[in-house]
């Protein structure tokens, strides 16, 4: 009886290891084939940040961009969607790189609300990358940048 319990436990553990391996293999192959250029490390209020996206695969890729601020050594969400206009409800803005589109450039303006005197004013972008089925495939982060007064 005890031998049967041990065998069942071993089979169950092997099954879990194989399931984990299969999941990890599928997750690795699902990472989109997209590259995002680095941004500058310092910007002034009203400067424009240029995003350059390039894609080297056939699938359609969708990207939404959030902004995070560093507060007490933690990253907190500052803006869920950087292109969303405050107090206006609309469909979330998503950058779409279509099947035949391999390069895209977008601009975004630094807003006054991002600068506080006496603060570090340290930010980074979070790129939520999806494919056609709209399931989140990958989350990438920009390099860290600082906002300064002109």
pLDDT of res. 90: 53
Q: Is the pTM of this model over 0.75?
A: no
Kindly report, residue by residue over 6-19, the tens digit of the pLDDT: 766 666 556 555 55
Distance CA 4, CA 39 (A): 60
State which H helix or E strand residue 14 sits in.
Answer: helix 2-29
Which SS3 state, helix, strand or coil, does residue 105 take?
strand
Distance CA 71, CA 83 (A): 22
SS (H, E, C) 32-72: CCEEECCCCCEEECCCEEEEEEEECCCCCEEEEEEEEEEEC
Among the residue ranges 66-75, 126-135, 137-146, the one predicted with the least confidence is 126-135
């Amino acid at each position: 009886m005890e031998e049967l319990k041990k065998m069942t436990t071993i089979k169950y553990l092997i099954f879990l290891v194989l399931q984990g391996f299969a999941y990890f293999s599928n997750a690795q192959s699902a990472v989109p084939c997209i590259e995002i250029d680095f941004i500058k490390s310092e910007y002034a209020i009203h400067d424009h940040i240029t995003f350059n996206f390039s894609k080297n695969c056939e699938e359609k890729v969708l990207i939404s961009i959030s902004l995070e601020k560093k507060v007490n050594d933690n990253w907190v969400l500052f803006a869920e969607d950087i292109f969303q206009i405050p107090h206006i409800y609309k469909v979330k803005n998503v950058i779409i790189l279509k099947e035949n589109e391999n390069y895209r450039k977008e601009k975004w303006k630094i807003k006054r609300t991002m600068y506080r005197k006496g603060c570090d004013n340290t930010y980074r972008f979070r790129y939520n990358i999806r494919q056609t089925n709209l399931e989140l495939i990958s989350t990438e982060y920009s390099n860290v940048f600082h906002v300064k007064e002109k």
